[in-house]
Structures are given as C-alpha cells and as structure tokens.
Amino acid sequence: MATEAAQDAAAGAAAHGAAGQSSGMPQLDFSTWGNQIFWLLVTLVVIYFVLSRVVMPRIASVLAERNGTITNDLAAAEELKQKALEAEKAYNEALATARAEAAKIVAQARADIQKDLDKATAKADAEIAAKTAESEKKIAEIRAGAMESVTEVAKDTAKELVAVLGGKADAKSVTAAVNALLKG
C-alpha cells in the first residue's frame, strides 16, 4: 500500500505539474493569438453592422424627431409671442380710446352741468332782481309812508309846542313851516 500511495502521489504530482504548465491566462497564450484576433475582428464587424444598420438609424430618427419638435415648438412660441404683442397693442389702443371717450363724456357732463348751473344762476339772478325791485318798491312806499308819518308827527308836535308855549297856530302856517324845514 505504501507503494500504491507513493505511485498515486507521483501520478498526482505529474498531473499537477502538467496542469501547472498549462495553467495561466489563455489570452496571453501565443499559440491562440491568431484565433483570438480572428474572432475579435469578426465580433467588431458584427457589432459595427448591428450599430450602423439597426441602432444608429433609430437614434438618428429620434434625434431628428426631437430636433423637429424643438423647431416647431420654437416657431409656435414665436408666433404666440407675436400674437401676444398684437393683443397687447390692441389692448393699449382700446384703453387709450376708452380713456379719450371717457374724457369726452366727462367734458360733456361738465358742459351740461355748467349750462344747467348757468340757467339756474340766471333764474336765481332774475328772481333776486325781481325780489330786489319789489323790495325797493316796498322800501320806497315805506319811505313815502314814513315821510308822511314824520310830516304828520312833526306837524302835530309843532302844534303842541306852539300851544304849550302859549301861542295859537293854525294848521296852514304849521304845515308851511314843517315843509320848509323838511326841504332843507
């Protein structure tokens, strides 16, 4: 058995030694480089054809569609901007027109109010003038009445004074004396 174990150990060592020589990275084994380069080129050509025929056209179409969408959106935005500017201009014009119309209405209202005020003032002036004339007439009547009353009072006072002083005065001489004094 010992011999068998030794033989097995020698066989295992030999097998291990052979495996030890063949072990290592197969990419660095110079005997397989030709095959590796061939399959590398085949793989690169296949990848190139797949990318150029399938993947790149899809990517190009997506980019073109995206570029078209962006261009269309920019054009639409510019068009909307122009419409907004036109709408703002129309709004400003309408606002200016409305302000001018409001100014006209205010001016017309002021003119109407001034006309009504002038009519009312003229009517009030006429009423005041009529009342003034009537008042002056009444004042003139009152003055005339007052003058008559003053004349009568003066005549009566003069008669009484003459009688108190012991004299006799007739109505004609008292009236003449009072009239002479009143005329100045």
Start-to-end CA distance of the chain, whole Å, equals 191
Q: Which tens digits make up the pLDDT trace of 128-162?
A: 999 999 999 999 888 888 878 888 888 788 888 88
Q: Which tens digits make up the pLDDT trace of 79-136?
A: 999 999 999 999 999 999 999 999 999 999 999 999 999 999 999 999 999 999 999 9
- Quote the pLDDT of residue 19: 45
- Quote the pLDDT of residue 9: 56
Q: Which of 158, 178, 177, 153 is nearest to 168 (CA)?
A: 158
Q: Which tens digits make up the pLDDT trace of 43-92?
A: 999 999 999 999 999 999 999 999 999 999 999 999 999 999 999 999 99
- Quote the pLDDT of residue 3: 63
64 token code pair: 């073109």
3-class SS of residue 29: coil
Q: Is the pTM of this model over 0.85?
A: no
Q: Give 159's contacts (C-beta < 8 A, 6+ positions apart).
A: 169, 171, 174
